[in-house]
Amino acid sequence: MLPFFIKLFTNAKPPPDDQELVRLYQETGELEHLGELFQRHSKLVYLVCQKYLQDPEESKDATMQLFEHVSKALLQHEVSNFKSWLHVTTRNFCLMQLRANKHKKSVPLSDNASPVMENPEPLHPSDAEQSEKMEQALHAALKELSPQQRECVELFYLQQKSYKEIGALTGCDLNKVKSYIQNGKRNLKIIMEKNHAAR
């Protein structure tokens, strides 16, 4: 019984959720709100960086750089699901880092020689590059769906909305929403397989 009475007679407020911290930061620009928000998901950011960059030190540096990047980006975008948005932002940041690093690779001619730019034979694409190509193929395939299917699929898979939320946003009943998502998913698979076979 004691915990019940503690809750009943204390005025302690629960910590603000992600969306509330996003709102506070976007309204005030105060970094303490963003700091609390970013700290909650810093492990996620580091793990995504580690997945793409494959280096612990580079991943730590990227995590710190992302705080500054997010501090600017969050003031420019409407974000309805911060965790999902942060995951995508982190992945895109890492892909940009990988592309930039590819152009900086150099190899010395000898111990005392100045480094020269490498011009290696094409290598097998990395996991990050494959992921990027897959994402590009997915976005291209989405454009071939009907407008209703594309909207519902994007809301469900990319923005992680529930059937009920999608119904409210699109004005469709739940059965229609489920149908658009199921048919859209099936059509996406067909389109992507057809496009892959045509290459």
What is the structure's pLDDT at 71?
92
Phi, psi of 77 (to 5 degrees): -125, 145
Residue 56's domain spans which residues?
A: 15-104
Same domain, 144 and 95: no
What is the structure's pLDDT at 143?
84
Contacts of 118 (CB under 8 A, 6+ apart): 105, 106, 107
pLDDT recorded at residue 115: 38
Residues 30 and 68 occupy one common structural domain: yes
- Per-residue CA distances from 58 to 47, 51, 94, 158 (Å): 12, 11, 10, 28
pLDDT at residue 131 in the model: 59
Does 80 map to a domain? yes
Report the pLDDT value the prediction gives residue 106, as an integer from 0 to 100: 43
Same domain? 135 vs 166? yes
pLDDT digits (tens, 9 = 90+) for 95-107: 988 887 775 544 4
Residue 151 one-letter amino acid: E
Query: Is 192 in a helix, a strand, or coil?
Result: helix
- State the sign of the Cα–Cα–Cα–Cα dihedral 75, 76, 81, 86: negative
186-197 tens-digit pLDDT: 888 888 888 767
Residues 19 and 91 in one domain: yes
Per-residue pLDDT reduced to its tens digit, 112-169:
443 333 344 344 445 555 656 666 777 777 888 888 988 888 888 777 778 888 888 8
Q: What integer pLDDT is reported at residue 126 of this predicted model?
A: 52
> What's the DSSP call for residue 29?
-
Residues 6+ apart with CB under 8 A from 131: 91, 95
- Mean pLDDT over the full length of the chain: 78
Q: Is residue 113 part of a domain?
A: no
* Least confidently predicted of 22-31, 135-144, 167-176: 135-144
Q: Is the CB of residue 79 less than 8 Å from the CB of residue 85?
A: yes
Looking up residue 41, the CATH number of its domain turns out to be 1.10.1740.10
Joined together, the tokens standing for residue 182 give: 């199921």
Q: Give, for 116, the enclosing helix (H) or strand (E).
A: strand 115-117
Please tell me whether residues 89 and 156 are part of one structural domain: no
Structural domains in the chain (count) = 2
CB atoms within 10 A of CB 126: 14
Question: Could you give the 3-state DSSP secondary structure of residue 103?
Answer: coil
What is the per-residue pLDDT across 113-125, written as a single tens digit (0 to 9) for each?
Answer: 433 333 443 444 4
